[in-house]
Amino acid sequence: MERQKRVAAIHDISCFGKCSLTVALPMLSCAGIETCCIPTAVLSTHTGGFSGYTYHDLTADILPIADHWKSQQIQFDAVYTGFLGSREQTDIIGRVLDRIAREDTLVMVDPVMGDDGRLYPVFDESFPAAMRGLCARAHVIVPNMTEAYLLLDEPYQAGPYSEAEIDRLLTGLSRICPGHVVLTGVHFDEASLGAATMEGGTGRREVVLRRKVDGFYHGTGDVYASTLLAALMHDFSLSEAAGLAADYTVLSIETTKAMDKELRYGVNFEYNLPKLMQMLKKEQAQ
Ligand code: PXL
């Protein structure tokens, strides 16, 4: 039997609303990957669409957890970061990587900062620069369009985009992250939506597009990024993984839409998990 891969997922726990760790843990486990976690904060709900949520910052716990793991020689195939509770946490995650990432550990940073042209209100203006520093240590970054413009310190532009603009963004992001770039929310018209990928090293670029499903569903970025990492851990190429993640995200949105649930409650990513297991079997995907 093949060795089981192990990932450390570093995100918040939003106790209600399906995003960050409550998406990453079940999805990666379903993909057969041992998924350990460092919670960055505990919130009663995510911040998108609920008022009065509780927020408990866990900054002080992050390094002691990593120190303990290091003392126990626990090794990771990947470290996957998402929503970080504060600017300070971006520096701390760098120190976590010094402790738990081997040379061959894949570091994937989802630079969760905003959506729809806006920085999430929990972050101040200095946050994107700090996130840029963390992206410099990543082998893969997965920004959405809002996060791409924030990382590049440019004003947000809404789509549809030209191919030249997507190319320009990829080039800019590749100066921030030496590894692979997977830019989500790419669309050239209103009918389709997908991701543009740029491989670190070769600079090879591809665009994967899928039919657009209307409506803004919360947590789709986490479903996309978790599927992307699952596929990379199963040795799919970057563009194959980007395509598989798009397929699974569309499937989750379509399932949610059919159930007529509140958009802020998150997507029903659970229903199709048995299908995800099949999609990740490489021999069937080809
Ligand atoms: O899905 C990204 C995310 C993660 N964690 C928290 C959030 C959000 C997006 O709003 O509020 C707490």
Q: Is 120 in the pocket of ligand 1 (CB under 6 A)?
A: yes
Which tens digit of pLDDT belongs to each residue from 209-259? Answer: 999 998 888 999 999 999 999 999 999 999 999 999 999 999 999 999 998
Residue minimizing CA distance to atom 12 of ligand 1 = 46
Q: Which atom of ligand 1 is nearest to the CA of 47?
A: 11
C-alpha 2 to ligand 1 mean position (Å): 34
Q: Is 115 in the pocket of ligand 1 (CB under 6 A)?
A: no
Task: Read off the pLDDT of each residue in 29-34 and give the average, rounded to a whole number.
Answer: 98
C-alpha 46 to ligand 1 mean position (Å): 5
Residue minimizing CA distance to atom 7 of ligand 1 = 46
Which tens digit of pLDDT belongs to each residue from 168-208? Answer: 999 999 999 999 999 999 999 999 999 999 999 999 999 99
236-239: long-range contacts, CB 8 A cutoff, minimum separation 24: 236/282, 236/285, 238/140, 238/180, 238/182, 238/197, 238/199, 238/206, 239/197, 239/206, 239/208
Q: 36 φ, ψ to 5°?
A: -100, 165
